[in-house]
Structure 1
Amino acid sequence: MPQTVLVTGGAGFIGSHTCVELLDHGHDVVVVDDHSNSSPHALDAVQKLAGRPLAGAHRVDLRDRAALDSVFAAHDVDAVIHFAAKKAVGESMRIPLDYFDVNIGGTTALLCAMHEHGVRRLVFSSSCSIYGDTATVPLGEDEPAGPTNPYARSKHICEQLLGDACRRYPELSVIALRYFNPIGAHPSGMIGEDPTGVPNNVLPYMAQVAVGRLDELAVFGDDYPTPDGTCVRDYVHVVDVADGHRVAVDHLDDEAGLRVLNLGTGTGASVLELVARFSAAVGRPIPYRIADRRAGDVPILVADPSRVAAAWGWRTTRDLADMCADAWKFQRSHPHGYRSA
């Protein structure tokens, strides 16, 4: 049944793609975003792509309870998808208090507002980084948490907060999706990843190298215990990740309490393999240099996605070539991000 879904961080990379998926499946969507790392132009593209308007778009910092309360008061919200957070491992090592303030403080304020307004259903955008430096490949949801950086710790603490809230309020239904490394863009090329400032993640950095905005990619470390010495990650197409969040909304009523599920392909690729695939999509080599390891990184993170497949029949549908081709299509048509439009 169509629902009204409030999406925090809805103008961001994954949030914007999730808004399209929700709109395409008949839901009404309300966006809350402070645009600290996103463009409001992304929401224009979302509505054009979906052929439907948003039910509302509010420029709000989640920590501003008065502003957040006004959003809930203005809309009859059935469920919330919570993306809004700071998300870069390296940056979190430099400004850990900011990460705790924004990620944990924003989640706490959101839970309080939901409780105040009688909203009991939440999909939380969690992270595979919670697993930390582990020798287990692939990683299942029962693997002990071992976060190695402030970003990962903030996500783990948020999951613990959600668990505590569910124990206190048994009517709450929360699904935490630990997705692995989302990359790519919508196949239309209309929406994609457009970070503010210098990108913290590898693919948008490569894409900006490809359009001439940056000179070369820094590959952080080539001495990890992996086949080519660079970090191995489970890269997932952003449209698959968005679809996983949309499907999660449909399963919130399956049971109450907190459920944790991985979203991933189950297949890893090294940073150098990703460079080669993106170079093929672009049609020329992407210049790169090997740099020192980055604090907080771990050698391998690959998902075991069998639990979500068994529970919902959900699987990824796009491969690494699709991810690179779609990311390049967005960057090529938006050389300066959404400002290009």
Structure 2
Amino acid sequence: MKILVTGGAGYIGSHTVVELAQAGYEPIIIDNFSNSKESVLGGLRAILGRDVPCHRIDCGDAEALRGVLKQEDNVQGVIHFAAFKAVGESVAEPLKYFQNNVGSLLTLLEVLPEFGIESLVFSSSCTVYGVPDALPVTEATPTKPASSPYGRTKQMCEDIVHDLAAAPGNKLYTILLRYFNPIGAHESAKIGELPLGTPNNLVPFITQTAVGIREKLTIFGNDYDTVDGTNVRDYIHVVDLAQAHIAAVQRLLDRKATDTVETFNVGTGHGNSVLEVVQTFEQASGQKLNYVIGPRRPGDVPAIYADATKAAEVLGFKTSTSLFDSLASSWKWQLTLGK
């Protein structure tokens, strides 16, 4: 079965492509490479032993998307990753985020019915919860005003999907995966997180600092109401996260969804502070990290982590990789990249 993967050359997308192929699906990549590198395709080839079809288009371009779906006949479902994802950048460039993240989903929802595609897995985010009143967050936790334009785009996209589901004649079934903080790399070290320019995410900044690309790591704030004053997040290994997408695709194609829109948290179920991540990385890599404490960063939520019960009970999905092993795989990937 062909599965279209928008943003399939990106960090999470590429790992999901591997898991799809190894689960017996035929992944088809769409990517405009605005936030990824074509070298990823070589990594996929090395892991899978074959090329993965890739169409270099912007999935916000309706005509280009139609062209791909005409060429790749009989696509059964779509996993939609294509979006900008940096909280800090979204604060600085909000229009860029609204145009890309919301616009690409609207185009997809316009085109999919024309080709009889009725299954969509949407890459959502725990940022839709804003600053939660209680932890861990469940799928029933109320969404509050987002702390960043990035989080707002994910809230808007979820609202759009729900509104479409309520429209007469809608045949699209969607699973919204609200995931937390992906880290780590494929065990082969052939693919991993590959930020363009200065990393916006914690772990690649850590590994680049440890290898000497960055002079130091700045931790944004140590005066939060958390275990050690630094931000707390739910860090999930990217391969575990990719496997959640396989479970979601299978549920849709098997017609097991009980509603036109279903929502699942995808996380480990517990949080770790930034300092805990730094200390665990030092243990996993044997490297002493140069870090300093800086001011808080706009848009950051103090603490958030998942209640992952629903994903376990309904999707049959649980994470299996520890924080130590996740960070060890990130370090192995960085060493493969070098400086």
Please classify the TM superposition score into its range, dividing by the shorter chain length. Answer: over 0.9
CA contact (8 A) 1:208 1:335 kept: no
Residue type of the partner of 2:95? L
Q: CA deviation at 1:58?
A: 0.7
Q: Give matches, 1:33-182, under 5 Å.
A: 33-54=31-52, 56-75=53-72, 76-146=74-144, 147-168=146-167, 169-182=169-182
Partner of residue 302 from structure 1, selected from 301, 305, 318: 305
CA contact (8 A) 2:220 2:296 kept: yes
Residue type of the partner of 2:280? R
Tell me, in whole angstroms, the C-alpha distance in 2 between the residues paired with 1:186 and 1:20: 9
Residue type of the partner of 1:186? H
Tell me, in whole angstroms, the C-alpha distance in 1 between the residues paired with 2:142 and 2:16: 29
Q: Give matches, 1:312-331, under 5 Å.
A: 312-331=315-334
Following superposition, which runs of at least 4 residues in structure 1 exceed 3 angstroms of deviation? Answer: none
Aligned residue for 2:176, secondary structure, equals strand
Which stretch of structure 1 is more off in the superposition, 196-205 or 249-258?
Answer: 249-258
CA contact (8 A) 2:267 2:308 kept: yes
Residue type of the partner of 1:187? E
Tell me, in whole angstroms, the C-alpha distance in 2 between the residues paired with 1:72 and 1:27: 16
Tell me, in whole angstroms, the C-alpha distance in 1 between the residues paired with 2:33 and 2:23: 25
Q: CA deviation at 1:51?
A: 2.3
Q: CA deviation at 1:47?
A: 2.3
CA contact (8 A) 2:41 2:51 kept: no
Aligned residue for 2:261, secondary structure, equals strand
Q: CA deviation at 1:199?
A: 0.4
- 1:218 matched residue in structure 2: 218
CA contact (8 A) 2:91 2:298 kept: yes
CA contact (8 A) 1:23 1:52 kept: no
Partner of residue 4 from structure 1, selected from 2, 5, 21: 2
CA contact (8 A) 2:189 2:332 kept: yes
Q: CA deviation at 1:40?
A: 1.2
Partner of residue 256 from structure 2, selected from 254, 257, 265: 254
RMSD of aligned alpha carbons = 1.0
| TM-score calculated relative to the size of structure 1 | 0.96
- Number of aligned pairs? 333
Tell me, in whole angstroms, the C-alpha distance in 1 between the residues paired with 2:189 and 2:28: 23
Tell me, in whole angstroms, the C-alpha distance in 2 between the residues paired with 1:50 and 1:136: 43
Q: CA deviation at 1:280?
A: 1.6
| TM-score calculated relative to the size of structure 2 | 0.96
Residue type of the partner of 2:256? D
Residue type of the partner of 1:302? Y
Tell me, in whole angstroms, the C-alpha distance in 2 between the residues paired with 1:73 and 1:163: 27
Q: CA deviation at 1:135?
A: 2.7
- 1:232 matched residue in structure 2: 232
CA contact (8 A) 2:4 2:77 kept: yes
Residue type of the partner of 2:330? A
Aligned residue for 2:312, secondary structure, equals helix
Q: CA deviation at 1:21?
A: 0.1
CA contact (8 A) 1:308 1:314 kept: yes
CA contact (8 A) 1:72 1:113 kept: no
Aligned residue for 1:300, secondary structure, equals coil
Tell me, in whole angstroms, the C-alpha distance in 1 between the residues paired with 2:181 and 2:244: 14
Tell me, in whole angstroms, the C-alpha distance in 1 between the residues paired with 2:223 and 2:216: 20
Tell me, in whole angstroms, the C-alpha distance in 1 between the residues paired with 2:316 and 2:111: 33
Q: Give matches, 1:246-285, under 5 Å.
A: 246-252=246-252, 253-255=255-257, 256-285=259-288
Partner of residue 18 from structure 2, selected from 17, 20, 29: 20
Q: CA deviation at 1:164?
A: 1.2
Q: CA deviation at 1:95?
A: 0.4
Residue type of the partner of 1:67? A
Residue type of the partner of 1:119? I
Tell me, in whole angstroms, the C-alpha distance in 1 between the residues paired with 2:246 and 2:325: 21
Q: CA deviation at 1:52?
A: 3.4
Q: CA deviation at 1:243?
A: 0.4
CA contact (8 A) 2:284 2:325 kept: no
Aligned residue for 2:58, secondary structure, equals coil
Tell me, in whole angstroms, the C-alpha distance in 1 between the residues paired with 2:291 and 2:324: 20
Q: CA deviation at 1:170?
A: 3.6
Residue type of the partner of 2:197? G
CA contact (8 A) 2:4 2:75 kept: yes
Gaps of 5+ in 1: 337-341
- 1:339 matched residue in structure 2: none
CA contact (8 A) 2:121 2:176 kept: yes
